[in-house]
Structure 1
Amino acid sequence: MKFFIDTANLDQIREANELGILDGVTTNPSLMAKEGIKGEEAIRQHYKTICEIVEGDISAEVLGTDFSTIVEEGKALAALHPNIVVKVPMIKDGIKAIKWFTDNGIRTNCTLVFSAGQAILAAKAGATYVSPFIGRIDDSGWDGMELIRQISNVYTIQGFNTQILAASIRNANHIISCAEAGANVITSPLDPILGLLKHPLTDIGLAKFLEDAKKM
């Protein structure tokens, strides 16, 4: 399973990359704004900087919601760097644009997916990634992990090549559950990724080793 970090913070991206387990980055306009990055040119330059840090797929999100605007924005984003994957919303014109991108050799990440039906449409259009938002699904009273399992089962049966990119990760247990449910990729803030390092028995064992080492 691939690990992506979901942020626009360069320090966090560098920290995750230095762990040696990072495969890519996802971000969006909200995360960009959180880092004080505003304006088309500043956002595109920030994507270029991220691409210089991480050797892997970098999802760059379009802002348009109609076919022509999505395509024009997507072409401009894809031209920034070979590792850019154009992030497109799960809407009617988004699916049309994903098909256009597929036919023209541009990779895509279909975002804001909340059902297996939406995931099927994204795969049929040729999306490279499909991003179910499991945390938001849990918040609505449904089971986000069950959706991951359902999509994984459908894709296996139908032979779709689209990768399941589990998004809206809230904690380390989410990451483990996504691995069990068949996600190809998770994208997460830094804290849940670092949370995988932690276990109280590890801390106790290390303290005992260090204590014994002092006696040697």
Structure 2
Amino acid sequence: MKFFIDTANLDDIREAESLGILDGVTTNPSLMAKENISGEENVRDHYAKICQITDGDVSAEVISTDLEGMKREASELVKIADNIVVKIPMIREGVKALAWCTENGIRTNCTLVFSPGQAILAAKAGATYVSPFIGRIDDIGWEGMTLIADIAEIYAIQGFETQILAASIRSGKHIVEAAKAGADVVTCPLSSYDSLFKHPLTDIGLEKFLADHKKAQSVAAS
């Protein structure tokens, strides 16, 4: 399973890259705004900086909601770097844009997916990735991981090549569950990956190893 980081923060991207686990980056307008990045030129410059940190896929989201606007933005975004993937919303015009991008060799990430039916539409239109939003589904009392499992089963039966990119991941537990449910990719903040390191028995074991080493050194020196 691939690990993408969901952020526009360059320091967090560099840290994930330094861990040796980073396979790509996802962003959206909200994450850009969080970093105080605004204006079309500044946003594209920021994408270029991200693409200089990693050679993994970097999802860059369109703002338009009409077909012609999305086509124009997609054509411009892919000029930034070879690893740009155009992020397109799951709406009627978005599916048309997905199909157009597929026909023109532009890789895509279909975002804001909340049902198996939407995932089927994205795959039929040739999306490279489909992004079901796990955490937001959990927020309304449904099971986000059930959606991942359902999409994985459908894609396997139908032979769809679209990769399942589990989004709105909020914890290390979510990451593990997404892996078990059949996600090809997870994307989440650096803090969620950090939580995978933590286990009390690891801390206790390391403390004991270090204490025993220190004791042995003291005995050897006496």
TM superposition score normalised by structure 2: 0.97
SS at match of 2:87: strand
Per the alignment, in what secondary structure is the counterpart of residue 112 of structure 1?
strand
Aligned to 1:120: 120
Partner of 2:206: 206
- CA–CA distance in structure 1, aligned partners of residues 97 and 115 of structure 2: 19
Superposition deviation, residue 33 in structure 1: 0.5
Give % identity: 68
Q: Which residue pairs with 1:187 in the alignment?
A: 187
**Which contiguous aligned blocks of 4+ residues in structure 1 show a shift greater than 6 angstroms?**
none
Q: State the Cα distance separating 1:66 from its structure 2 match.
A: 0.3
Question: C-alpha distance in 1, partners of 2:201/2:158?
Answer: 43
Aligned to 1:85: 85
State the number of aligned residues: 216
| TM-superposed deviation, 1:55 | 1.5
- What residue in structure 1 maps to residue 9 of structure 2? 9
Aligned equivalents of 1:14 and 1:140: distance in 2? 34
The equivalences for 1:113-152 within 5 A come to 113-152=113-152
d(CA) in 2 for partners of 1:12 and 1:80?
Answer: 21
Deviations 1:151-204 (A, max 9, x none): 000000000000000000011000000000000000000111011011000000
What is the CA–CA distance in structure 2 between the aligned matches of 1:95 and 1:141, rounded to whole Å?
A: 27
Structure 1: state its 5+ residue gaps.
none
For residues 145 and 55 of structure 2, what CA distance do their matches in structure 1 show? 29
* Alignment match, 1:38: 38
- In structure 1, how many angstroms separate the alpha carbons of the residues matched to 2:30 and 2:137? 19
Amino acid at match of 1:30: S
> Whole-Å Cα distance in 2 between the matches of residues 15 and 147 of structure 1?
31
Q: Which residue of 1 aligns with 2:220?
A: none
Q: What is the DSSP-based 3-state SS (H/G/I as helix, E as strand, rest coil) of the residue aligned with 1:3? A: strand
CA displacement, residues 73-120 of structure 1 (integer Å, 9 cap, x when unaligned): 011001110000000000000000000000000000000000000000
